[in-house]
Amino acid sequence: MTDEVHHVGAEQDPHDRTGGLRSPHPVQEPGTASLATVIGAGMWDALLADADIVHVSAGEPIYAAGQAPPVVAILSGRARVYIVAADGQQFTFRYAGGGEVIGLGPRLGGLTNSSAEALTDTTAATISLDRVRRLGFEQPALSWAIAEEMARWASNVVRTVAEAAHLPMTARVARHLLEISAPTPRGTGAGVTHQRLADAVGSAREVVTRTLGALRRARVVETSPGWVLITDERRLELIAHGDEALEGQS
């Protein structure tokens, strides 16, 4: 699960795996408007004061269903947040990267079947809910930023439900691939198995395998065990938004 835990005090930065000092400031993805960006470095530092820093390996849980979720700031890496239904099916409602906070919406809403996993090696900070409340009272700008964060969280849930109701499977798979992919020396792609992609989409592995086959035949992606390479990102974006249909898509 987590490799190591560090406590961030007022005068101490967490150490990374190499033993060097690591700043608690987030590694933000280009083009994203994260909570850290909105509130600024000073307020972000105040949120992270006395936080526990954890390193979570790709594929491992950041927090699991069955308990009140913690409030977690993602410092680097990428996470998937999802709900587990009674039948075990997963419902992904959010992806988060550096500078974003997860767990706050489910925590405030009393949602105990929410889980989060690391899609890549991830560094995160567990923040005290009492600290969030206190700073929110002291800093109205933080309260407003958190309100906007909760609005985005709720909007993501509504959008995901709507997509599941009307978008074809190819579009849903395409959207998730775009969310989890990143530039690598092998090209833009994602290290993901068919089963893990099926979990993210909320479908069966066989359905996702057929869908990836259709995308591969359309020369939009290439696949190998545990890896999906995006070869035509523009077309994949069109498919994800329902603007291009593949022959025989479901």
H or E segment to which residue 165 belongs: helix 140-166
* For range 196-221, the mean pLDDT: 94
pLDDT band of residue 250 (cuts 50, 70, 90) is low
Q: 92 and 141 in contact (C-beta within 8 Å)?
A: no
What is the average pLDDT across 40-49?
Answer: 93
Question: Phi and psi for 219 in degrees, rounded to 5?
Answer: 65, 35
Report the percent of the chain where pLDDT is more than 70.
Answer: 85
Alpha helices for 28-103 (secondary structure H): 35-48
Tokens describing residue 77: 């890496």
For residue 32, what pLDDT is reported?
Answer: 54
| Neighbouring-strand partners of residue 74 | 124
169-178 average pLDDT score? 93
The whole-number pLDDT of residue 116 equals: 96
The pLDDT score that the predictor gives to residue 173 is: 95
Report d(CA 178, CA 60) in Å as an integer.
Answer: 21
Q: What are the C-alpha distances in Å from 27 to residues 19, 32, 35, 100? A: 19, 11, 12, 10
Give the pLDDT confidence of 13-30 residue by residue, as tens digits. 333 332 332 334 454 444
- Report the distance separating Cα 91 and Cα 55, nearest Å: 25
Sheet holding 61-63, edge to edge: 61-63, 114-118, 78-84, 90-97
Average pLDDT, integer, range 96-103: 93
Query: Which residues have a Cβ under 8 Å from the Cβ of 216 and sit 6 or more positions away?
Result: 222, 223
State which amino acid sits at residue 122. Answer: T
pLDDT tens digits, one per residue of 110-165:
888 899 999 989 999 999 999 999 999 999 999 999 998 888 878 878 887 777 77
- Please, what is the average pLDDT of the chain? 84
User: Mean pLDDT, to the nearest integer, of 231-250?
Assistant: 83
Domains observed in the chain: 2-163 (2.60.120.10), 168-240 (1.10.10.10)
* Rounded distance between C-alpha atoms, residue 192 and residue 142, angstroms: 36
Q: Average pLDDT, stretch 215-224?
A: 95
